[in-house]
Amino acid sequence: MTRLEATVHGHVQGVGFRWYVVRRASRLGLTGWVANQADGSVRLVAEGPDEVLERLAEIISHGPAGARVDRVDAVRLPASGSFTGFVVRASAHGGD
């Protein structure tokens, strides 16, 4: 199990990006969270198998209709195993 921490930059707020991530990550069986950031980006943390996280990374690099993804900053870390589902968290959520 691996952890993906990513910040998505571009026109990604006000276009349903967070709920798009929740739906797609949940369908993939991933756990974690997604939140809007004060600078207009969207941050997410997802945990699961490497190959499934790779699929999520591809998904967030495009986003839903209406979004424009300019850049995704991402790192992979060991999974914490502390999540039970995939949820939207309050804006500018700082961590786990």
Residue 94 included in any domain? no
Return the active site residues: 18, 36
- Could you list the residue range(s) of the whole structural domain that residue 38 is in? 2-88
Counting as low any pLDDT under 70, the low residues of the chain are: 92-96
How many CB atoms are closer than 10 A to CB 75?
Answer: 9
How many CB atoms are closer than 10 A to CB 88?
Answer: 15
Question: What's the pLDDT tens digit per position in 45-61?
Answer: 999 999 999 999 999 99
Q: Which of these, 78, 75, 70, 59, lies nearest to 12 by C-alpha position?
A: 70
pTM for this model (two decimals): 0.93
Residue 84 phi, psi dihedral angles, 5° rounding? -115, -10
Which CATH number goes with the domain that contains 24? 3.30.70.100
Query: Which value, in Å, is the radius of gyration of the alpha carbons in the chain?
Result: 12
Q: What is the pLDDT of residue 90?
A: 81
